[in-house]
Each structure stands twice: as structure tokens, then as C-alpha cells.
Amino acid sequence: MSVLARPAVALAATLILSASIPLAAPVAASAAPVADPAASAAGWLGRELASGGDVLALNGATDWGLTIDALFALAAAGVGADQGAATAAKLNESGEAYIGAAADIDTKWSAVAKLALALQVAGLDPSAFPVGGSSRDLIADLNSALRPDGSFGSSDSAFSHALALIALSRAGGAPTTALNWLTAQSCSDLASPDFGSFGWDNNCGSPDADATALALQGLLAAGLDSADPTVAAATEWLAGKQEPDGGFPSSWGGANANTTGLAVGTLSLVGGFAGAEQGAKYIDSLRITCATLDTANTPLTEDAIGAIAMDRAGFEEAVEFGLDEVNTDQFRRATSQAIFAFGAPGPGELTLSGAEASLPTGSCAEPSQSTGGSQSSQQSTPAAAGSTSSTAAALPRTGPTISVGLSALALVAVIVGAALVAARRRQQAHIGADPQPGASSQ
């Protein structure tokens, strides 16, 4: 990586919104190829967690926000309960590394909301979060950041606000003022092409698919339904952003797996979304499969099976050059959110409870066939590299889905990082430079 590229990666990484009880035995994994794209993707994320000491990090710096996203993804896919428990234990022992001190709640409330939700998904109690020999009530902390107008802290947005609504709804109910504040952030100008959308400024003028999708999740978690005018308008606006190939673009750039996973999952949760299967196929076309490994001269190995690229350019870069520390971080961010397009419970029900204990492996070995009438494993027919490789029945996997993972700032980091990786790859191809590690993230 060039000297100029490194600070840019570091700057992007620091924008991310961004713990240890050992298990008695290593996390178990299944042995056959995985037909379910969600399980395959979650298997790769789980293996990344396991190899990193149950957290995700870059250059030795733990990224707690991304670690939480991966935990949500395991719960969404219904696999890796043992790994999820190990990761949750690290989160539960993270102290104030991610959420800051109680006195910082005015600026750290969104991190508190995300961690509280992660603990809820893992079956832990956010009202008794251990800190320095004592405990903090993260739900009480979050409520303390609520202002008279219904916003949280010194700075609020529809995206972050939705996370707080989801966590508070799971803890017994979101305050009406908080719900009303979020509703008021939608574009209400009937003459505007942005009507119904949410963005980074209140009302019209800065529509964003990620913000609109997560705002919808918050409204639904707080008790609204598809008949509510705000929900209906946001749903119509978001559904209209799907492109012919199934992908959804963000306001930062073109179609990508992160935005598509969040949008497809949210619209499926609302119900009646005709583009769910096409959206899932778009994402599955960016997943590394056994068929991808058949590409001539690719350095990819079975360790990468299940990983999902942010976009087509990122996928093709990986096929040509493999995965290293920089683009592996991008794949982690994309996979953790893209996975929700394949099906998951809503935010009020997302849980590790009932998930399969083991993680799927990245093995491409054919399952052994028994002549004694035992069950045989299902597997998909290999497809061309970069195309949908799972069976049609696996798309979508279980119906409605919802994502609660990646912040919009993380998406900025992924997009910036992808551009830098592409530039670095081209440079290496011409001058033969050795791969260099990327900058650490928070």
C-alpha cells in the first residue's frame, strides 16, 4: 500500500461506529459443503471470529462494532451458537472500551444502544453490564440520554436513533417521544421525489437507503405496522430504489451488498416485497463458493468459502489477488450485513437461542454417501464463479429478515477501502510490490 493510501484507510476506519470466558472445547464445525448461503456466509464470519480470539480486529485493534455485527449475523443464520456465546462473553467483558464511561453517555449513547441490543440477542442482561467490579444499567443509561424533544444525546440521526428504539423496545418499550421524533424525520413533502425517505438531515433533501431501512426497523420494533402512513411511505420509497439486478445503491455510491442486505431484509419484514428473491440472488452472486475456487489461477482457498464482497469490483479483485488483511476487513463488513437478505427474524425476536451449536466449514469435499439408508446432505450445483451457487429453494431462506448491524459510517469505510484496495492491487500487478497490511480500525 502506498504511503498516501495508508492514512486514508486509517481515516475511513476511524469513522466506524464501533469481554473473556473461554469455551471448554473448540467451536465445532460441520464437514460437508453448505447449500444454504446464509449458513455458508455465517460460517465464514464465525471462523473469522474464532481465529481472532472471538472478536474481529485489524492490526491488533478490536473493532467492537463490527464484532457485534458478526454476532447478529450468526443469530440471523441460526448457526454457530457456541461461537456466538464466546463472542458475547468477550462483549460482556469489554467494560467501557466501546461504550465509554457513564459520564460520556451524551456522545456515546449510540454505542450503548448497539451493545445493549447485542447482549439481548445473546441472552445476556444489559441492565447488569459488568464494569470494573460493579455494573452499569445500559438501558437506564440510554433512557438518560433521551431529550425532551425525543432525540438522543448531543447529536442524533435516524439511523442511530433506530438502534436505540429497537433496544428499548426489547427492554419493555420505547418512549413515545422517541418514536415521535423518528417519525418526524421522514420526508413529508408530497411533491418531493424523496417523499417517505429518511436521510442524514431531518425531512427532505438527503435521502439514503440505509437510513430509511434502519429507520423502518425502528418504527416496526416500536409497534407501528405496514398500515402506518410513515411506514407505508418509507416502504414505497425504499422498494423503488431496487435496481434491475436486485441490488440497492447507497447515497455514497452504487449498488452494494451492505445496503442491499439491509434494504431487502427490512422490506421483507414489512411484507409483500416482490424483489426479495432477486435481492438475495444479487448478494449470492458476490459470495465466494466452491465454484469460485475453480477459476483459473485464483489464489483463493477453501478458507474463504462463504465470504461476501461489497460489490462486483471487490469480488473480482479477491478472485484475482486473494484475501489479505485489507480486503478481508471489507469482506467482513459486507458479509455481516449482506447475510440478512437471506432471511432472519425481526429485531424483537433475533436471538442466538435455538441456533445450531456448530459452524459450517468452508470444505468443498463431497459428503460421503452411505448405502445403509442414512440421511444425505443437500448441496447445490456449482455455478460459474461470481454467479448464484445455491439452490433456488435457498433464496430467500426463511422469509422476513432484519439487519441491525452496520452503521452508515462503516459503509463509507468499506467504499473508501475498496477503492484503495483496487488501486493498490493495480500497483502491485505492475511493480510486484509485496502486500502491505492495512490500518487499524476502531
Which of the four pLDDT bands, split at 50, 70 and 90, describes residue 137?
very high
Task: Return the pLDDT at 347.
Answer: 78
| Domain spans, the chain | 5-128+138-363+381-431
Beta bridge pairs of residue 360: 30
Q: Residue 151: pLDDT above 70?
A: yes
Place 366 in a pLDDT band, splitting at 50, 70 and 90.
low
Q: Tell me the pTM.
A: 0.79
Beta bridge partners of 58: 61
Instruction: Find the Cα–Cα–Cα–Cα dihedral 226, 279, 88, 172, rounded to 10°.
Output: 0
Residue 245 C-alpha from the chain's centroid: 21
Rounded CA-CA distance 404/40 in Å is 20
Share of the chain above pLDDT 70, in %: 74
Q: Are 252 and 303 in contact (CB under 8 A)?
A: no
The cell 470466558 sits on which residue? Answer: 21
How high is the pLDDT of residue 94?
97
Q: Report residue 252's pLDDT band, with 50, 70 and 90 as the boundaries.
A: confident
- Tally Cβ neighbours within 10 Å of residue 340: 32
The Cα–Cα gap between 293 and 113 comes to: 40
The phi and psi torsions of 352 (rounded to 5 degrees) equal: -80, -20
Per-residue pLDDT at 232 exceeds 80 = yes
181-219 pLDDT, tens per residue?
999 999 999 999 999 999 987 668 889 999 999 999 999
289 Cα distance to chain centroid: 19
Mean pLDDT of all residues in 108-124: 98
Asked if residue 351 has pLDDT above 90, the reply is yes
Please give the CATH topology (third level) of the domain spanning 5-128+138-363+381-431.
Glycosyltransferase (1.50.10)
Q: Which residues pair with 359 in a beta bridge?
A: 29
